[in-house]
Amino acid sequence: MGKVVGFTGVTTLNSNPESVLENAKGKLDGVVILGYDKDGEEWFASSYADGGDTLWLMERLKLKLLTVYSDND
């Protein structure tokens, strides 16, 4: 049986959160995680102690996300 390779491109389908986290292991110097827990409540964690650094990263990546989707229209 061959090795299964996860899709890493842009998709309109949801991905399994565990797979996303597993694929990030060993690749990041810092992380901000946003999501919903099993009860539908918002959930947040950050490895950055400074809220300003966290917000700066979120805003920069928000711009990147908006650019990716506008480039695919």
Confidence of residue 2 (pLDDT cuts 50, 70, 90): confident
Predicted TM-score (pTM) of this structure: 0.72
Using one digit for the tens of pLDDT, what is the confidence trace for 15-35? 889 988 998 999 999 999 999
**CA angle, 60 then 63 then 64, to 5°:** 90
Domain ranges of the chain: 31-71
**Tokens linked to 12:** 């309109």
**Tokens linked to 33:** 């995680």
Using one digit for the tens of pLDDT, what is the confidence trace for 33-43? 999 999 999 99
